[in-house]
């Protein structure tokens, strides 16, 4: 089962972020993942396609759903899972009520750690991404020389030198995918780079660290090489120095005068203990409150009334040695509300004038960020439809069998209602963002698990959801179907079953099949078309195709995008652009980025079946590709050229 191994590793890689051993709440891990991954979705999606028997022949028969088992395979949501009111001291929302989950916070159980067995299996195989048009027989993939897994004792320094090579003899570039907490990735100025990581007790266990080598001739042609680093307990604990604690996040935010600010602060100590937290000389009206579920975490609340810079000095005190303290600063740049105003009409209004809906993905728990107030007011005014960026993923909603965490999604629904926004449910069935327990289900049980999950989510949210991304990313990058635990269990019919189940639960919603890298011609788009034809032949209730459109500033295949959309439209399906963002590559300018946003909007407007256009976030601060500044407001909510390009092009100008 090759996909199992790979999926587990991918999930563990996500945890390689600084969040790994620090037990962060979802909001901070979510953001760190975004910050640290800095990669397109396709980087994680490397499965070779699977040939489907009968691919070109008989499409098979229409599925009929059996009743679900009673009692169910896993316990359905119960009163125990119902969220409770969330005190406003913990968040930035002022005009409607929020909720929170109860019970012990679920963290490490969700994703099994990498184990000694993973370590013992040796250096993981490199994952190679081959873009369309590259023939690996002519242009060999870049690789690293002489790497192996590494073992140290806590307290020791990890020092791994990365020597990139290319079969054609040129020097590949490289970048790390996230760094272990406290590590640096240093340029040795001889074509090599080094991971340097001073380990402590907080790092015990096996950690994955991935570096991506970039082909000198084609920057999309990449090899991701993971090294596993095992950190053992120190044989002499006294030899590990006790270092000063610190906090997460250490950050600077731009906020709006008059908005409440709430910042989740977690004391961290690389020695593996939990420090206490104090505010030194707090400004008036600033105070700390412990988190109800995790009392060692604190929420800093303040309402900055006037423009200016506010610095919070946060003192952390070591648990073993109270004289050992850390001092960190959280800085707020407070701007007058007028500074955030954008000229012209709002995007949703302009889009409506052209007959389409405009919207965005919304970050998980934005209301527990310092800048939640301004985030919400911009999102609330600009968007007519929203997708929960992560709050509806299986790992978020149902992290353990029979256990449900609905609060984050409930709050986004409240946000959508308060702002009269439509909601896209996303995603019901995907091969990623699955909790470990789902990854470990027996093949013969998976169909029921999938249907139970769809049923539980749709039962709770159907009244508020207009569009459902029922199936996410089913096609392999090279064509064929993506190898996944769903395909393994049910074959292609997993899609038939999921769509039939969704239709049964919500006869009026628009049901979507969502996919990335289908905005240009190639084997992946061809495979999508033949999949759609088979689904249609079996009367599977697909209403629309979602074009994710995570593109880069070198995108120029507008003609191919138009003809791909036309091919979907010819099949009687609607088109939704679901996850548009434009990563800046090759030092391209913001103006080039703006032109690509414009071109994509124009292509959508020229196609009468293109009905919804949503970006994947709107501010570069909260983007899963933040390092490539792919959005149309910058980190401080200032408009970029792309914003104006959206206004003009959505209005047909």
- On whether the CB atoms of residues 610 and 565 are closer than 8 A, the answer is yes
Cβ neighbors of 138 (< 8 A, separation 6 or more) are none
Between β-strands 150-153 and 550-552, what pairing exists: parallel, antiparallel or unpaired?
unpaired
Is 25 an interacting residue with respect to ligand XIL (CB under 6 A)? no
- Give 33 or 366: the residue with its C-beta nearer to ligand XIL: 33
Burial label, 147 (beta-carbon count in 10 A; 0-12, 13-18, 19+): middle
Stretch that binds ligand XIL, among 28-36, 105-113, 367-375, 454-462 (CB under 6 A): 28-36
Q: Least distance to ligand XIL from the beta carbon of 626, Å?
A: 10
Out of 23, 41, 185, 272, which residue is the one contacting ligand XIL (CB under 6 A)? 41
Task: Reply yes or no on whether 292 is catalytic.
Answer: no
| Footprint (CB under 6 A) of ligand XIL, residues 63-82 | none
Residue from 203, 376, 389, 620 touching ligand XIL (CB under 6 A): that is 389
Contact of 426 with 388, CB cutoff 8 Å: yes
Options 357, 473, 492, 515, the catalytic residue: 473
Beta strands 261-268 and 246-248: pairing type? antiparallel
> Minimum CB separation from ligand XIL for residue 401, in Å?
22
> 480, 423, 490: which is closest to 450 by C-alpha?
490
Say if residues 365 and 411 touch (Cβ distance below 8 Å): yes
Q: How far is the CB of 546 from ligand XIL (least distance, A)?
A: 8
Give the nearer residue to ligand XIL in terms of CB position, either 130 or 549: 549
Residue 618 is a binding residue for ligand XIL (CB under 6 A): no
For residue 423, give the nearest of 357, 371, 374 by alpha carbon. Answer: 357
Residue 372 to residue 444: CA distance in whole angstroms: 44
Confirm or reject binding of residue 390 to ligand XIL (CB under 6 A).
Answer: yes
| DSSP three-state, residue 235 | coil
- Residue with smaller CB distance to ligand XIL, 30 or 38: 30
Q: Write down the least CB distance from residue 30 to ligand XIL, Å.
A: 6
H-helix or E-strand containing 49? strand 49-50
The Cα–Cα gap between 59 and 183 comes to: 52
Nearer Cβ to ligand XIL (359/427): 427
Q: Rounded CA gap, 435 and 606, in Å?
A: 41
Binding part of the chain for ligand XIL, among 30-38, 116-124, 413-421, 446-454 by CB under 6 A, reads 30-38
Nearer to ligand XIL, 11 or 314 (CB): 11
Structure tokens at 129: 């991404």
User: Residue 81 or residue 477: which is nearer to ligand XIL going by CB?
Assistant: 477
Binding mask 564-583 for ligand XIL (x = CB under 6 A): ---------------x----
Instruction: For helices 641-650 and 590-605, give the axis angle rounded to 10 degrees.
Output: 20
For residue 624, state whether it binds ligand XIL (rule: CB under 6 A). Answer: yes
Q: Are 483 and 2 in contact (CB under 8 A)?
A: yes
Q: Which range binds ligand XIL by CB under 6 A, 29-37, 49-57, 259-267, 445-453?
A: 29-37
Cα dihedral: 167, 170, 175, 180 (round 10): 60
Q: How far apart are CA 18 and CA 181, in angstroms?
A: 4
Q: Map residue 261 onto helix, strand or coil.
A: strand
Q: How far is the CB of 33 from ligand XIL (least distance, A)?
A: 4
Q: Could you tell me which stretch among 26-34, 105-113, 370-378, 447-455 binds ligand XIL (CB under 6 A)?
A: 26-34
Token digits of residue 478 = 């090279």
Query: Binding pattern to ligand XIL, positions 156-185, x when CB under 6 A?
Result: ------------------------------
**Residue 33 engages ligand XIL in binding (rule: CB under 6 A):** yes
Choosing from 548, 564, 593, 629, the residue that interacts with ligand XIL (CB under 6 A) is 548
Residues numbered 416-435 forming contacts with ligand XIL, rule: CB under 6 A:
427
Nearest residue to 310 (alpha-carbon basis) of 229, 222, 371, 268: 371
Q: Indicate the pairing of strand 422-425 with strand 467-472.
A: parallel
Contact (CB, 8 A) for 72 and 452: yes
Minimum gap (Å) between residue 46 Cβ and ligand XIL: 14
Beta carbon nearer to ligand XIL, 382 or 389: 389
The one among 3, 16, 18, 30 contacting ligand XIL by CB under 6 A: 30
**Whether 30 contacts 363, CB under 8 Å:** yes
Active site residue 473: yes
C-alpha radius of gyration, the chain, whole number = 25
Q: Which is nearer to ligand XIL, 203 or 389 (CB)?
A: 389
Please tell me whether residue 472 binds ligand XIL under the rule CB under 6 A: yes
The phi and psi torsions of 194 (rounded to 5 degrees) equal: -130, 135
- What number of chain residues touch ligand XIL (CB under 6 A)? 12
Residues 477-536 that bind ligand XIL (CB under 6 A): 516
Q: Could you tell me the smallest distance in angstroms from the CB atom of residue 622 to ligand XIL?
A: 9
Q: Is residue 369 within the footprint of ligand XIL (CB under 6 A)?
A: no
361 CB contacts (<8 Å, ≥6 apart)?
386, 387, 388, 389, 579, 614, 615, 616, 617
Asked if 304 interacts with ligand XIL (CB under 6 A), we say: no
The yes or no reply on residue 223 touching ligand XIL (CB under 6 A) is no
Identity of the residue, 395 or 592, whose beta carbon is nearer to ligand XIL in the bound complex: 395
Nearer to ligand XIL, 16 or 548 (CB): 548
Spatial separation of the C-alpha atoms in residues 616 and 582, rounded to whole Å = 10
Instruction: Give dist(CA 642, CA 647) in Å, integer.
Output: 9
Minimum Å distance from CB 97 to ligand XIL? 26
Q: Which helix (H) or strand (E) holds 10?
A: helix 2-14
Residues designated catalytic: 473, 579
- Sites of contact with ligand XIL (CB under 6 A): 30, 33-34, 41, 389-390, 427, 472, 516, 548, 579, 624
């Amino acid at each position: 089962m090759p996909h199992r191994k790979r999926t587990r590793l991918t999930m563990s890689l996500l945890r390689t972020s600084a969040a790994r051993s620090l037990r962060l709440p979802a909001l901070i891990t979510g953001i760190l993942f975004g910050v640290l991954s800095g990669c397109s979705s396709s980087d994680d999606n490397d499965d070779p396609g699977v040939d489907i028997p009968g691919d070109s022949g008989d499409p098979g028969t229409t599925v009929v759903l059996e009743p679900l088992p009673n009692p169910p395979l896993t316990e359905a949501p119960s009163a125990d899972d119902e969220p409770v009111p969330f005190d406003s001291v913990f968040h930035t929302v002022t005009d409607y009520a929020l909720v929170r989950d109860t019970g012990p916070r679920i963290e490490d159980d969700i994703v099994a750690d990498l184990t000694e067995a993973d370590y013992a299996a040796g250096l993981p195989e490199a994952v190679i991404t081959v873009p369309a048009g590259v023939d690996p027989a002519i242009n060999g993939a870049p690789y690293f020389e002489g790497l192996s897994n590494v073992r140290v004792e806590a307290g020791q320094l990890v020092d791994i030198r990365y020597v990139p090579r290319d079969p054609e003899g040129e020097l590949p570039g490289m970048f790390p995918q996230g760094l272990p907490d406290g590590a640096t990735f240093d340029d040795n100025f001889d074509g090599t780079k080094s991971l340097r990581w001073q380990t402590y007790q907080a790092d015990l266990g096996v950690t994955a660290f991935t570096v991506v080598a970039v082909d000198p001739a084609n920057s999309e042609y990449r090899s991701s090489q993971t090294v596993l680093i095992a950190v053992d307990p120190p044989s002499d604990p006294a030899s590990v120095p006790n270092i000063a604690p610190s906090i997460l996040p250490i950050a600077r935010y731009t906020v709006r005068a008059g908005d409440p600010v709430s910042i989740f602060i977690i004391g961290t100590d690389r020695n593996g203990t939990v420090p206490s937290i104090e505010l030194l000389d707090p400004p008036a009206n600033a105070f700390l409150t412990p988190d109800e579920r995790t009392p060692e975490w604190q929420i800093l609340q303040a309402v900055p009334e006037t423009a200016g810079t506010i610095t919070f000095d946060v003192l952390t005190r070591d648990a073993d040695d109270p004289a050992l303290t850390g001092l960190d600063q959280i800085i707020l740049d407070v701007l007058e509300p007028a500074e955030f105003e954008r000229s012209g009409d709002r995007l949703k209004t302009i889009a409506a004038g052209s007959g389409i809906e405009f919207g965005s993905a919304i970050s998980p728990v934005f209301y527990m960020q310092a800048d939640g107030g301004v985030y919400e007011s911009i999102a609330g005014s600009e968007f007519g439809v929203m997708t929960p960026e992560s709050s509806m993923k299986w790992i978020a909603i149902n992290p353990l069998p029979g256990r449900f965490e609905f609060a984050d999604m409930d709050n986004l629904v409240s946000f959508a209602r308060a702002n009269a926004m439509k909601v896209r449910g996303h995603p019901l069935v995907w091969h990623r963002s699955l909790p470990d327990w789902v990854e470990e289900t027996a093949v013969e049980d998976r169909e029921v698990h999938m249907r139970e999950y769809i049923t539980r989510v749709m039962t709770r949210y159907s009244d508020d959801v207009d569009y459902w991304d029922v199936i996410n990313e089913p096609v392999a990058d090279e064509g064929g179907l993506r190898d996944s635990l769903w395909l393994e269990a049910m074959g292609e019919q997993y899609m038939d079953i999921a769509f039939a189940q969704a239709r049964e639960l919500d006869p009026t919603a628009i049901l979507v099949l969502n996919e990335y890298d289908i905005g240009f011609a190639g084997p992946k788009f061809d495979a999508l078309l033949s999949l759609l034809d088979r689904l249609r032949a079996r009367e599977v209730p697909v209403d629309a195709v979602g074009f994710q459109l995570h593109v880069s500033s070198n995108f120029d295949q507008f003609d191919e995008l138009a003809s791909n959309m036309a091919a979907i439209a010819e099949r009687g399906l609607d088109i939704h652009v679901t996850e548009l963002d434009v990563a800046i590559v090759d030092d391209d300018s913001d103006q080039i980025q703006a032109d690509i946003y414009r071109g994509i909007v124009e292509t959508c407007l020229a196609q009468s079946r293109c009905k919804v256009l949503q970006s994947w976030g709107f501010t570069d601060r909260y983007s899963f590709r933040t390092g490539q500044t792919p959005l149309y407001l910058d980190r401080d909510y200032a408009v970029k050229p792309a914003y104006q390009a959206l206004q003009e092009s959505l209005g047909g100008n």
